[in-house]
Amino acid sequence: MNNIALTIWVLLTVLLGLFSCRDTPRDNPYDPATEVLLVEVLSPGDSSVFEARAEITFRVSATTGFDNAPAGKVFEWRSSISGLLSTSSEFTTDSLPPGDHRITVTVTDSLDRKGSKAIRVIILKVPDYGVAITTPPGDTAFIVGSTFTPAVREYVKQGTTIIGRLWTFGAGSGIPDTKTADPGPVVWNAAGTFILIYQLVDNLGRIAADTLTVEVLSESVPPFVEITSPAADTAIVSGDSLRLEALEIKTVARIAHRGWIYPEGSGLEDLQDSLAVAGWRKFSTPGIFEIIYRVMDLLGVPAADTVRITVNDTLPPPIVVIIRPASDDTTVVAGDSIRFEGFLVPNQAPTVSRTWSYGAGSGIAADSLVQPGWRRFNNPGVFRVTFTASDLSGRSSQDSLVVRVIANQPPAASITTPTGNISIGNGVSLNFTATDSDPENRPRLRYWLWGTGSGITPSAADSLANAGSRAFNVNGNFTVSFNVVDDKGLRAADSLTVTVSNNQPPVARISSPSVDTTVAAWSRMVFTSNDSDPDGSIVGRTWSFDAASGVDGSGETGAATGPKYIGATGTFKIIHTVVDNFFASDADTLLLTVLANSRPTALIVSPVGLLSIARGDSLDFFGTDSDSDGTIALRVWTYGTGSGLAPDSTSAPDYRKFNTAGSFTVIYTVRDNLGGEVADSVQVTVAP
């Protein structure tokens, strides 16, 4: 990020320096303090013709030439015939007298800057007796073969009788005269200039007529139009102004309509510039704009010219960096989400558009946020993710990375306890454990099913791999399954069959000692059992001792235990448990009370250490012993199984000869008068 920040800072510094030094050859020459206002009459059109007493709406707009801002505080409309008409920007009147009026509107703003515009309005006197051709409304032109329907308005007082009407279409037009007010569609098939006349005769012999000129052209040639300012495609900076001016040349028919067309977003789209010289126009919005100047002649033939204006932002070009994910190549499993974050300079510029694209086929819609956040990829594939920023001037920046989406693999499940199908007796409880895994280490849901009809009530522990113990109290065959579902819905399961049938439980019985017993501490104890099963066999035995006794029974799995020595005093439970071949169990408990007694001591003084002798050699055996709270009642030396030496019952048996090769454990055992016992030993190796 430090390198990115440094790069961005350098770019910003250079760009800002360039912008601060830019040339401004297209700055508006108008002085905003003294400029005139640009005034346009919106209604009526120049050279409009109305009859007397017709309602006419006058409307004006005014802007400042410097920045195209709307302007106008005082509006003064004057007629060359009637004088002052209104002081509003818009008004309607029906009181203009007949005549050729020059209507001038002068607009003054709050800074006393002025601008004016004049148009011609013709008001026709309504005659007592007369005619007026209304279609076409004035002199006109057509292309050979064109059709139009002439129309006329007749002015006749009540009581007057019209005795004759006549349309004539000009010598050489080839169109026959018509003696009705409505001649119908007329086709002009001959080229030339013709006088269209309509005449009316009443019963008093009065004649009224109206005429206009119709020019019929053999071909249509579009007008010539060229934008002369700017003379070519131009780039400026937001806030600059350009002078817009066009050259137009009539070809066949005079130009009837003209106007500048400004594209949406330019900030000028609401302007209605209808002059070839539109003047200075300020471009405040960055972007690339096609400016069109369009004209149309009386024949309806259009012509246009265009110029491209690139308005650059005053901000530097955009710069983007994808900062999350940090890797240029990221791999996820289908259905996973990735968090996307970007860095953009300038960040909050409204003229900069932002687009995240997540790759064709990803199924993820594009985003326009710098920080789109988490997006989920459901479709496997390799996708190029791009973050792009562009300003309105067409300057852009892009960063990209690769996202690889792999298909999800199912999890694995395995029941570990019991290890396979199992048969048990009714009422027996089994412990259930399992293991599971997922190739992508995805989160997993676990649950046990205990078989239809097993009667086992679901519990919270069913969602653990180690479900614990479950009792089967209904006979039958039950499929127990351990199920795993990953967070994408892929499943795995393992199962086994539990067969439940009636079974008589085994009987556990501690036979030695056969009743609760009291002994002195450190007495030698061997526990034995006499177990049975009425309809099967015993397959497992365990012995357990109170923890306070200090005796570990974990390795005792037979009917008899090894020697046990309890040094702690108190009453302790000894529990013997058996399991039959249908996993039914039974237990017997013995209470053993241990009285206080100090353990005697025994020490082999000779020989000592690990001894190696030759066959036939002798060793001198001598031991010492003591008892702090009693007397020694028994001493025994044993020389190891297979040594061929008989035991001795004295502390100093003297020399003993080893005639048999082998390794022998020699033990000196001492028992006190209360039964407390201790032993010491030495290892003797006899070479052949």
Specify the pLDDT at position 238: 87
Cα 574 to Cα 277: distance, rounded to the nearest angstrom: 117
∠ CA 150-151-154 to the nearest 5 degrees?
140
Q: Is 14 helix (H, G, I), strand (E, B) or coil?
A: helix
Specify the pLDDT at position 67: 66
Cα 8 to Cα 6: distance, rounded to the nearest angstrom: 5
Domain ranges of the chain: 37-124, 130-217, 224-312, 319-406, 412-501, 510-595, 601-687
Counting residues of the chain whose pLDDT is more than 70, the rounded percentage is 94
Q: Under CATH, which architecture does the 601-687 domain have?
A: Sandwich (2.60)
Specify the pLDDT at position 25: 38
- pLDDT bin (cut points 50, 70, 90) of residue 51 is confident
Residues 91-110 have a mean pLDDT of 94
Cross-strand pairs, 575: 544, 589
The letter for the amino acid at 156 is V
Counting residues of the chain whose pLDDT is more than 90, the rounded percentage is 75
pLDDT exceeds cutoff 90 at 467: yes
- Domain 319-406, CATH class in plain words: mainly beta
Residues 170-192 have a mean pLDDT of 94
Specify the pLDDT at position 68: 67
Nearest of 123, 94, 90 to residue 107 by alpha carbon: 90
Taking residue 575's Cβ as centre, other Cβ atoms within 10 Å add up to 16
Q: Is 486 helix (H, G, I), strand (E, B) or coil?
A: strand
Spell out the SS3 assignment of 152-184: EEEECCCCCCEEEEEEECCCCCCCCCECCCCCC
Evaluate whether 151 touches 185 at the Cβ level (below 8 Å).
Answer: no
Specify the pLDDT at position 218: 84
Specify the pLDDT at position 426: 94
- Mean pLDDT lowest for which of 34-48, 95-109, 368-382? 34-48
Cα 139 to Cα 145: distance, rounded to the nearest angstrom: 18
Cα 309 to Cα 321: distance, rounded to the nearest angstrom: 30
Q: Is 19 helix (H, G, I), strand (E, B) or coil?
A: helix
Cα 262 to Cα 308: distance, rounded to the nearest angstrom: 11
Nearest of 228, 268, 271 to residue 249 by alpha carbon: 228
- Mean pLDDT lowest for which of 2-16, 132-146, 293-307, 317-331? 2-16
> pLDDT for 575-621, tens place per residue?
999 999 999 999 999 999 999 999 999 999 999 988 999 999 999 99
- Domain 510-595, CATH class in plain words: mainly beta
What is the DSSP annotation of 557-592?
Answer: -SSBPPPEE--S-EEEEEEEEEEETTS-EEEEEEEE
pLDDT exceeds cutoff 50 at 559: yes
Q: Token pair for residue 630?
A: 């009693």
Q: Which residues contact 312 (CB under 8 A, 6 or more apart)?
A: 235, 236, 237, 238, 286, 393, 395
Residues 384-401 have a mean pLDDT of 92
In this structure, whether the domain defined by 130-217 belongs to CATH 3.40.50.1820 is answered with: no
- pLDDT bin (cut points 50, 70, 90) of residue 33 is low
- pLDDT bin (cut points 50, 70, 90) of residue 400 is very high
Alpha helix ranges (H) inside 401-479: none
Evaluate whether 519 touches 526 at the Cβ level (below 8 Å).
Answer: no
- pLDDT bin (cut points 50, 70, 90) of residue 239 is confident
Spell out the SS3 assignment of 590-639: EEEEEECCCCCEEEEEECCCCEEEECCCEEEEEEEEECCCCCEEEEEEEC
Residues 417-430 have a mean pLDDT of 94
Q: Which residues contact 385 (CB under 8 A, 6 or more apart)?
A: 322, 340, 356, 357, 358, 359, 400, 401, 402, 403
pLDDT exceeds cutoff 50 at 201: yes
The letter for the amino acid at 332 is V
Burial of 323 (0-12, 13-18, 19+ CB in 10 A): middle
Specify the pLDDT at position 5: 41
Specify the pLDDT at position 66: 67
Specify the pLDDT at position 38: 85
pLDDT exceeds cutoff 80 at 451: yes
> pLDDT for 614-662, tens place per residue?
999 999 999 999 999 999 999 999 999 999 999 999 999 989 999 999 9
Asked whether this chain's domains 37-124 and 412-501 adopt the same fold, the reply is: yes
388 backbone φψ class: left, alpha, beta (φ>0; ψ -120 to 50): beta
Specify the pLDDT at position 207: 93
Q: Token pair for residue 539?
A: 């397959």
pLDDT exceeds cutoff 50 at 466: yes
pLDDT exceeds cutoff 60 at 159: yes
Q: Which carries the bigger pLDDT value, residue 201 or residue 316? A: 201
Cα 32 to Cα 410: distance, rounded to the nearest angstrom: 75
Cross-strand pairs, 38: 63
Specify the pLDDT at position 12: 41
Averaged pLDDT of the chain: 90
| 224-312 homologous superfamily | Immunoglobulins (2.60.40.10)
> Backbone phi, then psi, for 16, in 5-degree steps?
-65, -35
Rg, the chain, Cα only: 59
- pLDDT bin (cut points 50, 70, 90) of residue 6 is very low
> pLDDT for 337-376, tens place per residue?
999 999 999 877 788 899 999 999 999 999 999 999 999 9
In this structure, whether the domain defined by 37-124 belongs to CATH 2.60.40.10 is answered with: yes
Specify the pLDDT at position 105: 96
Cross-strand pairs, 119: 103
| pTM value surpassing 0.95 | no
CATH fit for domain 412-501, picks 2.60.40.10, 2.40.30.200, 3.20.20.70, 3.40.630.30: 2.60.40.10
What is the DSSP annotation of 394-416?
Answer: S-EEEEEEEEEEEPPPP-EEEEE
Cα 414 to Cα 408: distance, rounded to the nearest angstrom: 20
- pLDDT bin (cut points 50, 70, 90) of residue 10 is very low
Specify the pLDDT at position 263: 94
The letter for the amino acid at 101 is H
